[in-house]
Amino acid sequence: EYLSCHKEENFPGELTVNITYTLTEQNELMVDFSAKSTEDTIVNLTQHSYFNLNGHQEDINHQKVTINADTILETTDELIPTGKFITLKNHTYDFSEPKESPVIIDNTFVLNNHNAATLYGEKSKIKMTVITNQPAVHVYVGGNCFGQIKGKENADYHSTSGICFEAQNFPDAPNHSHFP
């Protein structure tokens, strides 16, 4: 649980956020969020976990990604959504069929249904499925992990050490009336 005080990050009201992580008997990691504010405010919660199914000393280049989306949100150079949608047919980011993980991506995919994405590690034979009740998944690889973060067994984490699947609402939704 986290309590964000009134005006923290310039948002009104006290916001209490609860996150519960559950490991199930079916080998699932479930993440449940809830939030309550004392005033009207904007909340779009997600998690920013990196995944690498072939082990922490491998990069994600040869893992297969599938994303259940026909469109992504168009963004400005600052990654702010314009309100327009880009069709993924014949697009670099068309992951309707499994293909190798990109080494650079930072985009919001408009989901077709709750089965958002899968990641498959060919070396490990491990498959992960992302299921959500949110309308989008933001997929992200890279970041500021350039030899600065040490992992298990003193591994040097770098920009292709993992991939994030951030299930969430559309970013900047309050500024686009047609967004959910």
User: Is 8 one of the annotated active-site residues of the chain?
Assistant: no
The 3-state DSSP composition of the chain as helix, strand, coil percent (nearest 5) reads 5, 45, 50
Q: How many CB atoms lie within 10 A of CB 141?
A: 21
Indicate the burial class of 77 (C-beta count within 10 angstroms; 0-12, 13-18, 19 or more). Answer: exposed
- Does the annotation mark 48 as catalytic? yes
CA 178-43-75 angle, to 5 degrees, is 50
Question: The tokens 């985009």 sit on which residue?
Answer: 107
From 6, 48, 62, 114, active-site residue: 48
Please list, in sequence order, all residues whose beta carbon lies within 8 angstroms of the beta carbon of residue 156, skipping any fewer than 6 positions away: 147, 149, 150
* Residues with catalytic roles: 48, 166
